[in-house]
Amino acid sequence: MASTFHEFANGADLAEALADKVAKQLSAAISKKGAASIAVSGGSTPKRFFEALSGKDLDWTKVSVTLVDERFVPADSPRSNHLLVATHLLKDKAAATTFIPLYHEAATIDTAAEIATGKTASICNPFDVAILGMGGDGHTASFFPRGNHLAKALNLSTPRGVMTMAAEGAGEERLTFTFSSLSDAPLLVLHIEGQEKKDVLAKAEAGSDEKNMPIRAVLTRAVSPLEIYWAP
């Protein structure tokens, strides 16, 4: 599917423009079906965007928010994507939203993935909005290069839901939505910032091996058109 590259002068301009776009998409979904859903990424990039989105005027009581991926750590861990979202998005006007975490205290990460799949089943078919990030190694969500379940996670025939991922570059074991859960969001965004990430994107676009750069699956096989938001 085709992608569109949106370039901004700086991260603040990008955050405002992306927050506007997302708020409009969520509002349109609420008008059409009475509810809306969004899956967001963690990492360091989305903070400014989260802050901008949290101030947008829309009926947040009808919005469900979840994460595209999470580390298998509790919500109070400084490594938790949940903590990032709680700090920067679930406040101001967006405090009224419903947040569905991926991490659940369970004996095994597989059980946590099953619980997360059950709790998010009603909002991911499809998500109205999915915001992806990208690591310097070409991972997106927790689709890590040479991850133990990467082939299954990237297979569009794998059912929607949350699965587990372990990989050398990932640190803790991860919970991640499958590609099939994210790829058909009507608004599918890749949000990256900095020249280094732009170079990684160019490298990904120049090749085809998804095992080494899983972001290539999104660039070439996503069901929805991909909107790439970038600022230096």
Ligand X SMILES: O=C1O[C@H](COP(=O)(O)O)[C@@H](O)[C@H](O)[C@H]1O
Minimum Å distance from CB 213 to ligand X?
Answer: 13
157 binds ligand X (CB under 6 A): no
Give φ, ψ of 90 to 5 degrees.
-80, 60
Minimum Å distance from CB 171 to ligand X?
Answer: 8
For 4, the token pair is: 């569109």
User: Site for ligand X (CB under 6 A): how many residues?
Assistant: 10
**C-beta contacts of 7-13 below 8 A and 24+ residues apart:** 7/230, 7/231, 8/229, 8/230, 8/231, 9/231, 9/232, 10/231, 10/232, 11/48, 11/193, 11/231, 12/48, 13/231
Minimum Å distance from CB 162 to ligand X?
Answer: 13
Among the listed residues 135, 138, 145, 214, the single contact to ligand X using CB under 6 A:
135
**Beta carbon nearer to ligand X, 58 or 222:** 222
Site for ligand X in 6-45 (CB under 6 A): 41-45
**Beta carbon nearer to ligand X, 63 or 167:** 167
Minimum Å distance from CB 231 to ligand X?
Answer: 13
Minimum Å distance from CB 230 to ligand X?
Answer: 12
**Beta carbon nearer to ligand X, 8 or 93:** 8
Minimum Å distance from CB 176 to ligand X?
Answer: 8
Contact 30, 41 (CB under 8 A): no
147 binds ligand X (CB under 6 A): no
Site for ligand X in 41-100 (CB under 6 A): 41-45, 68-69, 81
Binding residues for ligand X (CB under 6 A): 41-45, 68-69, 81, 133, 135
